[in-house]
Amino acid sequence: MAQRIAIIALTCDRIDEAFQTWHHNLKDTPYIVYWWDNSQVQANRDKLAEMAAHFGDRIVQVTNNKAENIGIAKALNNLMHVAFSLGHEVCVTMADDLIEVHDYPRLLVEALELVPNAGVSASPPSEGSLRYERQSTNGIRWETGDVIGNWAIPKTTFDAVGPLPEYYGIYGPIDLDYCARVRKAGLLPIYRSDITSRHIGTSTPQTHAYEKQVSLNDSWPIYSQKMRELEA
């Protein structure tokens, strides 16, 4: 299963949180990690590169050399294009502020395989996420709705639905938009209900806090328009 799965990791100026999540989530797992760094402070980029070097050849940095934030969707799409082109069948995201249960990529891919019509699977954050009616299929506890957190996205879904929406800028309701498109394609966005992730860190780095808030404020009218178009 290890060769089928690729982890796609995104960082952005969070040093302590990235150190914790990488060392916890990657411990005793075999997966290759394709990494994009959106950090805008060169010193932070250097520290994260030093951290990544400790993991050896399993970390593949897929990024330009500019200290810029190209946004969540564009970065993850770039990583998925690379991973899928190299033969991986499923990409599992690794945010820099979510602590997961051991070997969560395997558990999320297992849910994709055992829940009929599952298009993406996610581990629900332990706090602040809307939860849905639990179901059980083939020994997997799951629920369907608008899912957030770290996702497993198979190439079959990526091909059927397309890439993550980049029209929100650096930040916005990317996950909600994609869940709607997954459902439009006749698939289910699901949580694996028997695991959770834990959010760490308390604030957005000051390097991009303002532009993140501006992007988020601007994104909701775009989201409303895109959902109207999808339902038409």
Pairwise CA distance, residues 69 & 200, whole Å: 21
Instruction: Report pLDDT digits (tens) over 152-198.
Output: 999 999 999 999 999 998 889 999 999 999 999 999 999 999 999 99
The overall average pLDDT reported for the chain is 92
Question: Does residue 26 sit in helix, strand or coil?
Answer: coil
- Residue where the block lists tokens 């010193």: 43
CATH code of residue 17 = 3.90.550.10
**Count of residues for the chain?**
232
Residues spanned by the domain of 115:
5-231
Displacement of CA 177 from its chain's centroid (Å): 14
Q: Is the pLDDT of residue 210 over 80?
A: no
- Give the per-residue pLDDT at 203: 62
Contact predicate 199/127, CB 8 Å: yes
Counting the structural domains of the chain, the total is 1
pTM of the model: 0.94
